[in-house]
Amino acid sequence: MISLSIEGMSCDKCAAHIKDTLEAIVGVNSAEVQFSTSSAEVDAISGISTNMIIDTITSIGYSAKDGSLRSKESKKIAAQNDEQLHVVIIGSGSGAFACAIKAADGGARVTIIEGAEVIGGCCVNVGCVPSKILIRAAQLAQQQRNNPFDGLENHSPVLNRAILTQQQTARVEELRAAKYQNILESNSALSLVRGYARFKNANTLIVAKPDGSEQEIRADRILIATGSTPSTPPINGLLGTPFWSSTEALFANETPDRLVVIGSSVVALEIAQAYNRLGSKVTILARHTLLYSEDPQLGEALTTSLENEGVTVLNNTQASNVSHDGKEFSLETNSGSLQSNQLLISTGRHANTGGLHLEAAGVSTSRNGEILVNERMETNVENIYAVGDCSNMPQFVYVAAAAGSRAGINMTGGDAKLDLSTMPAVIFTDPQVATVGLTEAQAKQRGINTDSRVLDMENVPRALANFETDGFIKLVIDADTKRILGAQILAHEGGEIIQSAALAIRNEMTVDDIADQLFPYLTMVEGLKLCAQTFGKDVSQLSCCAG
């Protein structure tokens, strides 16, 4: 029997591919390949060498080592590990891996526990990456259908959703391998245990493994990074229907003729517009108004943009009953009855903490199950930390990664804090919504004497050159000091503008500082300078590139 350690597998399909390849070799009786343990056992006749098996695996894009050698290395490492700080991380997303890398850099050995079939968490697998691919494809389809230039003829795009989904999935698998699997395999301080963890006490976890067995793991430090799951609203009849969550919507092989979206925040709006551009007739049901928690001008202007594209937005509308007859959905709402081929539920997410038995460790949570942490990512229990969507932190992947990195530093003797006062946020609709800092209402609630200006994008030369003038830039300042407090932007490529505003706020710049800066002409970010200038002059009376 030839035992091998295999690197480069990202899922069970990889294991099946290797198994089929090995069993096709003349002289190999059978092969068992396990993705969960990154190993293979090959039963072959005496003429088949280990090197030949390894060469065959290498030829199809993976790498392999003699498993017996790995066993010797493992025993040596185990002896060394007895003296090392042991960090255990529940979850394998961005926050988890950022923590793992930092903890390993700090001298710890790290065990990552993951129960899902693939590592990488939400962002790379079912969130940021696949959604942005879908959004970009839909944007290109829309540009073919309706472009702003007189000399370019519009035409209906030819769409094959199944092929698009295949390409989308391939890129997801590529990034998961590069940013997660390869890191796990190349860093000897990191190891992966497959299964679902629960607390036995504040220092011990019990892992329910795929084969039905349980493993007890003791840790010096524990990070909880279990993410979140889409929430399902309590609508009568909904649970008996084949509705979509965002995951099904992102990876569908067909585009429905009519799509109803229940939800009015980030994910709902991004997917709703994408499907409208891919050819669906989309209706959005908003419990209040679009982007209800943001500056009202953002939701109002985005509603206008979406409606101009053909999206129906029903504000202050809720569904009371949902049914499905095998072909269509029927919804009863306070705005009347609706029918659709598909229904997307995107009303937020809830923390994945229900199965952790946090009470056994004494970890405090909010009423919604979110783990409460401080600016050092510490829970109320010494040596237990939490980051990402399972905590009371903003649900953004870059926040989770930044928090994970700092948690890893703190676990190994450092003192790192996460300042979220200048956290930028982007909603990838088109035009994009981008925000940072305080809104005018938030600043006034803090007793700050404010002033603000709104610059319509038709005053930004690059927007004019692009024939894309939807939206505006708004700056909120302290009226007494002229320091910039916040920025709210609705603009095509608005996400590329917001970081400059974030840096300005972080460095306590005034609108005069921004107005005096050199900004390249023709760029969208020049709109920040122009908006800053409106606090002291009428920019419509300035020449191009006016300093």
Q: Which among 123, 377, 393, 524 is annotated as catalytic?
A: 123
Q: Which among 1, 99, 128, 393 is annotated as catalytic?
A: 128
Nearest to 90 by CA among 373, 348, 355, 349: 355
- Are 473 and 462 contacting, i.e. CB atoms less than 8 angstroms apart? no
Distances (CA, A) of 198 to 12, 223, 391, 399: 25, 12, 16, 25
Q: Give catalytic status of residue 390 as yes or no.
A: no
Q: Give catalytic status of residue 531 as yes or no.
A: no
Rg (CA), the chain: 27
Residues 6+ apart with CB under 8 A from 365: 351, 353, 358, 371, 372
Residue 360 burial class via C-beta count within 10 angstroms: exposed 0-12, middle 13-18, buried 19 and up? middle
Q: Which among 11, 52, 196, 398 is annotated as catalytic?
A: 11
Q: Give catalytic status of residue 128 as yes or no.
A: yes
Q: Give catalytic status of residue 122 as yes or no.
A: no
Q: Give catalytic status of residue 9 as yes or no.
A: yes
| 164: its two tokens | 């698009």
CA-CA distance, 11 to 172, in Å (whole number)? 12
Distances (CA, A) of 461 to 72, 235, 276, 472, 525: 66, 47, 29, 13, 10
Q: Which among 180, 524, 531, 545 is annotated as catalytic?
A: 545
Q: Give catalytic status of residue 62 as yes or no.
A: yes
Q: How many of the other CB atoms lie within 10 Å of CB of 310? A: 12
- The HSE-up count of residue 99 (CA atoms within 13 Å, CB side) is 35
Specify the DSSP class assigned to residue 180. Answer: I
- Are 98 and 404 contacting, i.e. CB atoms less than 8 angstroms apart? yes
Q: How far is CA 458 from the centre of its chain?
A: 32
Ordered DSSP codes for 440-456? HHHHHHTT--EEEEEEE
Q: What share of the chain is helix, strand, coil (3-state, %, to 5)?
A: 35, 25, 40
Residues marked active site are found at 9, 11, 14, 62, 123, 128, 544-545
